[in-house]
Amino acid sequence: GRTTGTKAENQDEPAGRACGKVILLGEHAAVYDKHVLAVPLPEAIEARVRPADGRSRLRIPAWGVDEPVVPGRRGSSAAVATVALIMRELHVAERHYDIEVDARIPAAMGLGASAAIAVAIIRAFDLQLGFRLDNRTIDTLAFECEKLAHGTPSGIDNNLATYGEPVLYTRSTASRTKPIQLSEVPPLVVASSGKRGVTKDMVAGVAKRYASNQTLYDTIFSEIDELSVAGSVALRDADYESLGSMMNVCHGFLNAIEVSTPELEKMVHIARLNGALGAKLTGAGGGGSIVALCPGRSHDVAAALKKAGYAIIRFSDS
C-alpha cells in the first residue's frame, strides 16, 4: 500500500472510491434543515473487498484498525459496525470477506471520513458482487450507516462522499440536490487540530442548547441559512472577498453555539493573520479541522499553521 510500503494482499482487486467533504458554510444548522455549502475532498478513501476463508475482517492500516467483523457484535471501531450494516443490507452477512481500506484523510476531523468509508466499502462490495448499484442507492445506504454512527445526520456527508460535487444542500430537498459548477478550484487550506471531534456528541450538545434557547437558536440558524445561500453564489462566481467574510461570520455563529475550542480559535486566528480572507472551523467542531480561504496566500497560511504544529490536510492555491 501507499502508506505502509508493503503491498496489501488484495491490492489487485478493483477499488471502491469515495470523497471526503469540507463544509464552507452551514454545519449544525444543516441538522435543522437549513442550507449547508460544501465542497468535496477528492481521493479521500479507497476500499477493496475480496472473499476470505474463516471470518470477515476489516483493515484500515492508516488508522490502526484491524478487527474481525462478526454479525450482531459491535466492534471497538465504529467502522466495524458500518461494515456489518452494509453486509446485512447487501444480503451477504453470512459470507466472509477481507475488507481493506486505504484512508488518506484522518478520522474524526470533521472531513466526512465516516461517510466516505461507508461509500467506498459499499462500492467495493458492489464491484465484488456485480450488483451495479446506482448512486442514489449507494447514498441511501451510506445515510443509514451515518445514522448508526451519528444519530441525526443531515445527510450532507454521504451526499459528498457519493457524488463528489460542490453542493448547496438541505436535508428535506436532498434528492433534488444539484451540483454547483465552479469555474476554478477555490484556494482553500484545510488544517487539522489533531484533536478528535465526536460529531454525535457535538450534535447532541447543540440539540440540548437548542431545546432551552429555541427562539435564540432559530434566529442563529436562519442567519446561517442565509449565509450558505449567499455563499453558494459567491463560490460559483469566485467572489472570494464576499465568501471569506461570510465564512468569518459563520465561524462567529459556530463559536456562539459553543462548538469551537481554544485550539480552533487559535488556528482561525493564525490563518487570518497570514492573509486568509475567511477562516472557520469546519464540520462538527469540538476538535477537528479548520478551512481557510486564501487567494494568493495559501502558501503563507499553510506554512504558518504548520509552524504552529498543525497538520495540513489539503491545499490549493489560485
**In this chain, which residue has its C-beta nearest to ligand MEV?**
154
Q: Which amino acid is at 152?
A: T
* Smaller CB separation from ligand MEV, 139 or 157: 157
Q: Kindly calculate the radius of gyration of the chain based on its CA atoms and give it in whole angstroms.
A: 19
| Least Cβ distance, residue 87 to ligand MEV (angstroms) | 24
* Smaller CB separation from ligand MEV, 28 or 280: 28
The gap from C-alpha 310 to its chain's centroid, in whole angstroms, comes to: 18
DSSP β-ladder status, 97-103 and 56-60:
parallel
* Smaller CB separation from ligand MEV, 37 or 267: 37
- What is the rounded CA–CA span in Å between residue 52 and residue 259? 43
| Least Cβ distance, residue 211 to ligand MEV (angstroms) | 17
Residue 300 catalytic?
Answer: no
| Least Cβ distance, residue 26 to ligand MEV (angstroms) | 7
Q: What is the DSSP string of 168-203?
A: EE-GGGGGG--BPPPSS---EEEEE-SS---HHHHH
Angle between helical axes of 262-273 and 240-256 (0-180°, round to 10):
160
Which cell numbers hold the place of 101?
Answer: 481500506
Per the listing, cell 477528492 goes with: 42
CB 121 within 8 A of CB 173: no
- Half-sphere exposure for 195 (CA within 13 Å, toward CB): 15
Give the binding site for ligand MEV (CB under 6 A): 23, 27-28, 30-31, 112, 153-154, 156-157, 199, 203, 283-284
CB 276 within 8 A of CB 244: yes
* Smaller CB separation from ligand MEV, 28 or 59: 28
Q: What is the DSSP string of 210-227?
A: HHHSHHHHHHHHHHHHHH
| Least Cβ distance, residue 241 to ligand MEV (angstroms) | 26
* Smaller CB separation from ligand MEV, 267 or 281: 281
| Least Cβ distance, residue 127 to ligand MEV (angstroms) | 27
CB 267 within 8 A of CB 312: no
| Least Cβ distance, residue 260 to ligand MEV (angstroms) | 13
* Smaller CB separation from ligand MEV, 199 or 298: 199
CA-based max dimension of the chain: 58
Among the listed residues 66, 157, 237, 300, the single catalytic one is 157
Catalytic residues: 157
